[in-house]
Structure 1
Amino acid sequence: MASTTAPSRAPVFSPAAVVASCVGSMLIGALQALYGAAVPAFREEFGLSPSGAGLALSAHFIGGVAGVLLFDRLFGRIGNRRILGTSYLLMAAGAVGFALAPNWPAALASALLAGFGFGGIACGLNQLFAVGFGPRSTAMLNILNAQFGVGAVLGPALIGAVGAARYPAVFLGFALVNLPLLLCLRGVQDRAPQPSDTAPGPQVARSRSLASVLVLFVVLYVLHVGIEAGVGGWEPTHLETVGYGAGVAATATSVYWLMMTAGRFLVAPLTLRFSAQTIVTVSCAGMTVCLLLASVEELAPYAYAGVGLFIAPVFPTGLSWLHQAAPGARRTGAVVIAASMVGGVAAGPALGKVIEWSGVRAVPLLLSGVSALCLATTFRLARSTRKPPNSR
């Protein structure tokens, strides 16, 4: 696999900072998953409809988009430590506000603030890992994002253990865990090399339209994260609707995030043998089949686990594919990460509205349709980024 970045003389991360960054990725995974697990409690507390409850995750992702775009604008202009430190503090402050919110508008404002920090951390860590490990970038991106899955497993499991009604205490504890990470930022290189430091690769030079390729990546990420957030947010409700108990539904949701974690660890060595586009294509096909199987009541918990396994490599491996297709394009990484947040913004209310019309039982079929579009986009991307037959 071709290197996606130019090597740096000094390491971007010290060993301690690598570990701390993985913990940071774990925390943003936990935060995203906590909203879905706590939906029953704050629906009851604030008297919300399904689409109204979905606004919490949407506010989180709106803040995430803003955080990504701000980080991209500041990347290389001010120190990376300052950007990451501010992002951790914003995420912690938003979690505290959500836990103590006296009404739903205040809770949404806090989710927006937490999402702002979430976006800065997500963009910052992914961008820095993309430039910090040379030929191992794809593997390291998968490992970093696997930690996101670890947090997403622990979040719902913790809510299930203490009870959804106690979600404020969980959010407060989450905020406190952010603070020690600030001490580890000294191990992050303050002026890391930027993706624009690398020369444009052959695929960029021969592409008929870099803009069209970027649009396809944006579509892929919007659809993919819409599926990820849709399953994470609505799997418990769907399973309870088709007859499973609340405990089983919460456990199955944790298994979904666990399989996402396992998938990213498992794919890391495979990135040294198979191309990024092959891995993403197989992943999209697999998650489409599993979502169709989730419409069968007896298979639903197992099929959702399969969705987690197949969706796992799409985000980090897709970033590597993007850097290979357009290594000289300065802002492509931030654009697609922001696009992934847009998928999360749209997923909550859009899926909630459709569910109000079609019923909760239709959730897997609705998501399988979105996944089929994801697969079609991947095929189109593979054709658009393929080298001409006469190229060397």
Structure 2
Amino acid sequence: MTDQPTQRAAPLTPAPAVPVFSRAAVVASCAGFMLMGVLQAMYGPAIPALREEFGLSPSAAGLGLSAHFVGGVAGVLLFDRLYGRVGNRRIIGSSYLLMAVGAAGFALASDWPVALAAALLAGLGFGGIDYGLNQLFAVGFGHRSTAMLNVLHAHFGVGAILGPALIGAVGSGHYPAVFLGFALANLPLLLCLRGMRNDAPAPAGGDTCGDRVLRRSLGSVIAVFVALYVLHVGIEAGVGGWEPTHLETVGYSAGAAATATSVYWLMMTVGRFLVAPLALRFSAQAIITVSCAGMTVCLLAASVPALAPYAYAGVGLFIAPIFPTGLPWLNRAAPRARRAGALVIAASMAGGVAAGPALGKAIEWSGVRAVPLLLCGVSALCLAATVWLIRGLRSP
């Protein structure tokens, strides 16, 4: 990366005078994101058992993850309305409970509509945690917020490694036991909420030149941020959900495919931990540009069967920083756009909603072998959106 350091791209913002998190609350927040990763990553490896148990087509089975993301969108929008009116502890605590109850309902569901309703409920809690902790981390650590957000999201990756690994270890037919265990694991986090600041801290100020640019085109800039989040999370969910099926189709065993999917989530974790110190030196736009370009190349390489497991691992490495790095960039670019953060986080959920049925239909038309090429096209659009944002936010 050759871009200027972040300190030159935008002025440093001091951390809030009253800390938003105690050290214990930071650890608990990271654990909460780890559980979110476990939940999201378990739906894909459970697809074979779901199809057999409920007699589902590929696109219908993909609706489980989509229902989860529909609930996530609703959770983001609901808790955005409550943010600043209801204490942070109540928002995060109720979200943990919703995610636990939904996961338990999915495990115990007797038919597919009930399972979808439970996934929707789990997604509602998922969205509340996603929105609440992202907002608080984005403004709660001053100039270290980008680095801390990457650390937070790295723990999501830790959970996403564990999810497929657990399903692979016990067999997809025993997925209910894993979902029930996940539900119970949420409950101890409720004890750690006292270390979280209960009122909403004020957002950090932005760059004055950036404000002048945004006053001319605020709506279009936010729309492109939304598009970037929709597209890249669609890729993230698409690879996580369909990599096992694609690898099995091109000749890998079920165990090898599940392991490769865990490696994909592992590389997301590694990527975020690696970017955390880099975020103190390089601008967000440099990091995201390199990420989108690398992701596009890796998805193209994944269409070659011999390279596919390694290429998917590369996708995980490059996609890792986009979500956590984009939020502070948006906050600096549009500090007065109160709902911008909620819009892009909700958009990230929408990408997950669309990925399941859209990829399922595309697979029915073009075959499973086309999955990496379809996602490569979407990744190229992410790169184009990033280039547009860099030009649109360039200071006069």
TM-score interval w.r.t. the shorter chain? over 0.9
RMSD: 1.1
> Under a length normalisation based on structure 1, what TM-score does the superposition of the two structures give?
0.97
Could you tell me which residue of structure 2 aligns to residue 202 of structure 1? 209
Q: Equivalent residues in 2 for 1:349-388 (5 A)?
A: 349-388=357-396
Could you tell me which residue of structure 2 aligns to residue 151 of structure 1? 159
> Under a length normalisation based on structure 2, what TM-score does the superposition of the two structures give?
0.96
Of 62, 66, 70, the residue aligned with 1:62 is 70
Of 229, 243, 246, the residue aligned with 2:237 is 229
User: 1:4 touches 1:323 (CA, 8 Å); kept in 2?
Assistant: no
Could you tell me which residue of structure 2 aligns to residue 162 of structure 1? 170
Of 191, 194, 211, the residue aligned with 1:183 is 191
Output one character per residue of 1:107-144: Cα deviation in whole Å (capped at 9) or x when no partner. 00000000000000001110000111001000000000
Could you tell me which residue of structure 2 aligns to residue 86 of structure 1? 94
The answer to whether residue 336 in structure 2 is matched with residue 305 in structure 1 is no
User: 1:4 touches 1:324 (CA, 8 Å); kept in 2?
Assistant: no
Give ranges in structure 2 of 5+ residues lacking alignment.
Answer: 1-6
Could you tell me which residue of structure 2 aligns to residue 252 of structure 1? 260
Deviates more, 1:203-212 or 1:358-367: 203-212
The AA in structure 2 aligned to 1:206 is: V
Could you tell me which residue of structure 2 aligns to residue 119 of structure 1? 127
The answer to whether residue 358 in structure 2 is matched with residue 320 in structure 1 is no
Q: Equivalent residues in 2 for 1:227-306 (5 A)?
A: 227-306=235-314
Could you tell me which residue of structure 1 aligns to residue 21 of structure 2? 13
Question: Cα–Cα, structure 1 residues 369 and 83, in superposed 2: closer, same or farther, change >3 Å?
Answer: same
Q: For 1:263 and 1:7, how far apart are their aligned partners in 2?
A: 25
The AA in structure 2 aligned to 1:165 is: G
Output one character per residue of 1:171-193: Cα deviation in whole Å (capped at 9) or x when no partner. 00000000000000000000131
Q: Equivalent residues in 2 for 1:70-81 (5 A)?
A: 70-81=78-89
Q: For 1:166 and 1:351, how far apart are their aligned partners in 2?
A: 26
Q: Equivalent residues in 2 for 1:323-338 (5 A)?
A: 323-338=331-346
Could you tell me which residue of structure 1 aligns to residue 117 of structure 2? 109
Q: For 1:201 and 1:233, how far apart are their aligned partners in 2?
A: 42
Could you tell me which residue of structure 1 aligns to residue 3 of structure 2? none
Query: Partner of 1:102: helix, strand, or coil?
Result: coil
Q: Identity of counterpart residues, as a percentage? A: 77
**Shift in Å at residue 314 of structure 1?**
0.4
Q: Equivalent residues in 2 for 1:43-54 (5 A)?
A: 43-54=51-62
The AA in structure 2 aligned to 1:275 is: S
Q: For 2:14 and 2:115, how far apart are their aligned partners in 1?
A: 43
**Shift in Å at residue 4 of structure 1?**
7.3
The AA in structure 2 aligned to 1:287 is: M
Question: Cα–Cα, structure 1 residues 5 and 83, in superposed 2: closer, same or farther, change >3 Å?
Answer: farther
The number of equivalent residue pairs is: 387
Deviates more, 1:320-329 or 1:54-63: 320-329
Query: Partner of 1:323: helix, strand, or coil?
Result: helix
